[in-house]
Structure 1
Amino acid sequence: MIDSFIERHVKPRNRPRTAEETIRILRTKVLPVWDGRKIQDIGRRDVIELLDGIVDAGTPVAANRTLAALSKLFNWATDRGVIDANPCVRIKAPAAETSRDRVLSDEELRLLWRGCAKIGWPFGPFVQILLLTAQRRDEVAKMRRVELREGGKLWTIPGERAKNGQAHDVPLSSAAQSILGSLPRVAGQASYLISTTGNSGVSGYAKAKARLDAEMLALARTDAADGVDPESIVLEPWRLHDLRRTASTGMGRLKIEPHVIEAVLNHRSGVIKGVAAVYNRYQYLEEKRAALEAWAAHIEYLTGGLE
């Protein structure tokens, strides 16, 4: 039933990225527990026990996402007359979620940049491009050579890869162009830029992020001031997505106008809303370029030359 749901509903009715995430949840969180069972035999108690197991494994937010995916599955099965009712009805999300506000400090950005240099290609340049462009993780990871225009000065993210489904032009700062230009050219039909095969984007985020964290911590302890116990130094946890918020906040500190920052982030809500959002089709390309150059210059100032 899950395979049918994926083929008949998930893939044709969702953007590729959303479909990919729903499929991942169903195949990693649901099938290992319910494989071989008929959907008609799954009840409310089964759903609750499945979610409890995910929470107990230390991933409560994943339990929320699993509940959402299951609810869609059971609604689809109900509409098709396969089951009489959705057992997810009135089951509350297991975990409370709050929006994150983690922004890396200037000192953390120095450590980050140096740590990226330590771990090297492909994850080091990948993280640096995330920071310099303020784009989403998967958008950068799956960047392809064909998406670069104007001699590498402009990166166009196609609508099918953008979260809001709209193509997005990202002016590349001189620093970003330099990093991309220094990457080894890996042969592959898909021509992914940050890749070890050329046929798929960079991956293995968790393992590579752990290496970067370790390098940042080692650098922080090496830099410890006289009289400070290096072992007492710790780094506050952060996520790759926090780099996007850090860049946005940093551009705000540089007095970049909010609507320009939203344009850089490819947001379609916030400062320009309602009817104005419908009629304002100006892409702010030159303003975005100036903003990203200013942000790159700030990073260069912090890191002593983007070495």
Structure 2
Amino acid sequence: MPAAKPFTVKSIEAIKADASRKEIPDGGLQGLYLVVQPTGAKSWAVRYRHAGKPRKMTLGGFPAISLGDAREKARNALRMVSEGRDPATEQAEQETKRPAHMDLMPALLDEFVTRHVAVKNRPSYVRETKRIIERNLKPKWKQKLVKTVTKRDVLRLLDEIVDRGSPIMANRVRALLSKFFAWAMERDIVDASPVVSIKAPSEEKTRDRVLTDEEIRFLWLASEKLGYPFGPVVQLLLLTAQRRTEVSDAMWDEMELEGNNQLWVISADRAKNRKEHFVPLTASALEIIRALPKVKPAEDEDAKPIYLFTTTGKTPISGFSKAKTHLDAEMLALARKEAAERGENPESLSLEPWTYHDLRRTAASGMAGLSVPVHIVEAVLNHRSGSIKGVAAVYNRYDYAEEKRAALTAWAEKVAKLTGREKAAYGTEVAE
């Protein structure tokens, strides 16, 4: 059997799940294993022998615990074994003797993310969970013991979030707290959940917002003024019809930019439905991607750039709410400027609220309006809505590649025409 190769972050991220659980040894440190569940969740464990018997100690989930941290934890555990100690037993005893500060909400929420959220979910979901916790929970309950959180405390917190104009966020916080307290009950940290009888603060309706042709034009012009990184992100959201995190977290090694069939390959672990997805890249999309700067970590100029959209070279961008505020303001300014030029009252103009996800819906609606069949639109979106059934549902992953490319090309051409870029993007004159 060939020797195991040392792990790298890239090799870990590339490991795919099988039908059954598997443990993969790290060639860089004997005893350290990466555990991969059928769901795709990954975690670390260290195996050793104590008192003549095989033992195993769980270290935590990846990527919450990085490769470097996992090796350090494993080395510490193996050092204890060399001293005649059993690290798994000592870990269990330590957890039994939890210091009081570990039951403060901030510390316990961090533990919840490490031991539960990061093990069972995609990195984008983990980042969003951390963001919700840092913004909405830790500042409010930074000195509160978990066992003292009451139903009234939760209701007061949710009311405050609603009152500041974020009813949907209040729903998200309630859902997160429900999962958190269920996890805390399973670990015998609390006896009951204060969230169990609390309903979602706000009703969430299915959105059907689609940007008009004029709004698409304003959006594109505003995104050009916004610049890197959020301007190109918005443009690719509109042109590719993919999800926000799929675009914002896109990596350079997902891009196949050479040859005649340029593609963006979204791996199964990054796609929302866990299905690998191939997105044909149109001329407009390629133009945007090729113009992007390749940002590397400041301390490692020889490193290979990872993310298309990053300010650090290490992590994807954040700050979408602030970017959208600037985008909305620029769109409104453009609309009012044109209204004034027509002799209309600019102050009477306003823009209907929209979300980043509405750009995906706008693209889908736009392709349908160009007579693209619904099953092709669904293939572009990587949907599993059920319009394709039976044998067709299990076709090779490359099926509809040409149809998807034709659909996205037609949509990109329409966007180019709406934004006055048709000649530049496709070498054709704009119709008068």
The reply to whether TM is greater than 0.5 is: yes
Whole-angstrom distance in 1 between the partners of 2:113 and 2:395:
37
Q: CA contact under 8 A between 1:51 and 1:66: conserved in structure 2?
A: yes
Counterparts of 1:132-171 in structure 2, within 5 Å, are: 132-149=239-256, 151=258, 153-171=262-280
- Partner residue, 2:429: none
- Partner residue, 1:172: 281
Greater share of residues in strand: 2
Tell me the secondary structure at the aligned position of residue 86 of structure 1.
coil
Unaligned runs of 5+ in 2: 1-107, 298-302, 425-432
1:295 corresponds to 2:411: yes
- State the 1:281 CA deviation: 4.4
- Partner residue, 2:380: 264
- State the 1:278 CA deviation: 5.3
Unaligned runs of 5+ in 1: none
- State the 1:260 CA deviation: 0.9
Change (3 A) 1:122 1:19: closer
Whole-angstrom distance in 1 between the partners of 2:309 and 2:123:
20
1:185 corresponds to 2:300: no
Change (3 A) 1:117 1:79: closer
- Partner residue, 1:285: 401
Counterparts of 1:242-261 in structure 2, within 5 Å, are: 242-261=358-377
Whole-angstrom distance in 2 between the partners of 1:238 and 1:175:
23
1:118 corresponds to 2:225: yes
Tell me the secondary structure at the aligned position of residue 138 of structure 1.
helix
- State the 1:26 CA deviation: 2.7
Counterparts of 1:200-215 in structure 2, within 5 Å, are: 200-215=315-330
Q: How many aligned residue pairs are there? A: 306
Whole-angstrom distance in 1 between the partners of 2:328 and 2:198:
37
- Partner residue, 1:46: 153
- Partner residue, 1:62: 169
Amino acid of the structure 2 residue aligned with 1:186 = V
Q: CA contact under 8 A between 1:268 and 1:277: conserved in structure 2?
A: no
- State the 1:28 CA deviation: 2.4
Whole-angstrom distance in 1 between the partners of 2:278 and 2:155:
44
Task: Give the alignment partner of residue 205 of structure 2, picking from 98, 110, 129.
Answer: 98
1:198 corresponds to 2:198: no
Task: Give the alignment partner of residue 34 of structure 1, picking from 120, 130, 141.
Answer: 141
- State the 1:267 CA deviation: 1.0
Whole-angstrom distance in 2 between the partners of 1:299 and 1:191:
29
81-90 or 183-192, larger mean C-alpha shift: 183-192
- State the 1:138 CA deviation: 1.7
Deviations 1:108-159 (A, max 9, x none): 1111122222333332222111111011112111222111115181001122
Change (3 A) 1:35 1:173: same
Deviations 1:48-106 (A, max 9, x none): 12212222222111111111111111111222222222221121111111111111101
Greater share of residues in helix: 1
Amino acid of the structure 1 residue aligned with 2:345 = D
Change (3 A) 1:146 1:111: same
Structure 1 ranges of 4+ moved more than 4 A: 275-278
Change (3 A) 1:55 1:160: same
Tell me the secondary structure at the aligned position of residue 278 of structure 2.
strand
Whole-angstrom distance in 2 between the partners of 1:28 and 1:214:
24
Q: Percent identity?
A: 52
Deviations 1:163-200 (A, max 9, x none): 11222111000111111112233334443223344333
Whole-angstrom distance in 2 between the partners of 1:159 and 1:140:
14
User: C-alpha root-mean-square deviation of aligned residues, in Å?
Assistant: 2.1
Whole-angstrom distance in 1 between the partners of 2:293 and 2:133:
36
Q: Which has the larger radius of gyration?
A: 2
- State the 1:38 CA deviation: 2.1
Tell me the secondary structure at the aligned position of residue 223 of structure 1.
helix
Change (3 A) 1:204 1:33: closer
Q: CA contact under 8 A between 1:17 and 1:163: conserved in structure 2?
A: no
Whole-angstrom distance in 2 between the partners of 1:289 and 1:110:
23
TM-score, L = length of structure 2: 0.66
- Partner residue, 2:300: none
Whole-angstrom distance in 2 between the partners of 1:226 and 1:278:
52
Amino acid of the structure 1 residue aligned with 2:359 = L
Whole-angstrom distance in 1 between the partners of 2:352 and 2:118:
38
Change (3 A) 1:87 1:155: same
Q: CA contact under 8 A between 2:257 and 2:286: conserved in structure 1?
A: no
